[in-house]
Amino acid sequence: MIETATSNQLPSGQQPAARILLVEDNEMNSDMLSRRLSKRGYHVDIAPDGKQGIQSAQQLQPDLILMDMSLPEIDGWEATRRLKCDPQTSRIPVIGLTAHAMAEDRERALSAGCDDYDTKPVDMNRLLQKIELMLGKSASVTEQRG
């Protein structure tokens, strides 16, 4: 159910690979995105819909979630809302992804609890910047807490 692509290339530094949960229903997109992220040293898990995305997040406790907003079963907005309500998963940063480029989509994503937002097709460099920013942020939060 959960595919795992392992990294063969670590990001800068010798830290263990960050774990990213990609919630995406389009098989081609999830395959392509997970492979590209894996190449950059991330450990990527994939969930094909919102319901399984929530389960995976609870089980796997990823460092970051890439959430497609248009999903079957439970859509990305609802899934994000639930994740942010659950104390188990609320600290995990969520980057919303949508093919809609409308401003209201961005607002909607942020109000559902997404920490950031990007549009598809992804600009790999921009997405990587956002991922790094989120991971750095959450790491500092974790450190403060720890």
Partner 1 sequence: MFSGIRRSIHRKLMSIIMLSAALALIMACSAFAVYEFITHRDSAARELEIIAQLVGESTAASLAFDDERSAADALHALSTESRIVAGCLYTRKGEVFASYGSAGPRACPKLTAQDRPLDENGYQTLFHQVRLDGGFVGTLYLRASLTGFWERARRYSLIATGILALTLLVVYLVSSRLQRLISGPILHLAATASQVSDDRNYALRAEKTVDDELGVLVDQFNEMMGTIEARNQDLLDAHNELERRVRERTVALEAEVAERRRVETDLLAAKQIAEASSLAKSRFLANMSHELRTPLNAVIGYAEMLREEAVVESRLADVRDLDRIHAAAKHLLTLINDILDISKIEAGKTVLNWETVEVVSLAREVVNTVEPMARERGNQLIIRGAGLDGTIRADLTKFRQSLLNLLSNACKFTENGEVSLEVTREYDGNQDWMLWKVRDTGIGIPKEQQHLLFQAFSQVDNSASRKYNGSGLGLAISQRFCQMMGGEIQVSSQVGQGSEFTVRMPAFAAEEELNEVQGKNR
- Residues in the site for partner 1, rule: CB under 8 A? 26, 28-29, 32-33, 35-36, 39, 99-104, 106-107, 120-122, 124
In sequence order, the 6+-apart residues with CB closer than 8 A to the CB of 125 are none
Residue 81 CA, chain-centre distance (Å), reads 14
User: What is the closest distance, in whole angstroms, from the C-beta atom of residue 29 to partner 1 in the complex?
Assistant: 6
User: What is the closest distance, in whole angstroms, from the C-beta atom of residue 41 to partner 1 in the complex?
Assistant: 14
User: What is the closest distance, in whole angstroms, from the C-beta atom of residue 10 to partner 1 in the complex?
Assistant: 16
Q: Look at residue 104 and give its three-state secondary structure.
A: helix
Q: Is 31 exposed, middle or buried (0-12, 13-18, 19+ CB in 10 A)?
A: middle
Residue 33 or residue 94: which is nearer to partner 1 going by CB? 33
Q: How far apart are CA 137 and CA 122, in angstroms?
A: 21
Residue 57 or residue 122: which is nearer to partner 1 going by CB? 122
Residue 77 or residue 92: which is nearer to partner 1 going by CB? 77
Residue 29 or residue 138: which is nearer to partner 1 going by CB? 29
What DSSP state is assigned to residue 40?
Answer: T
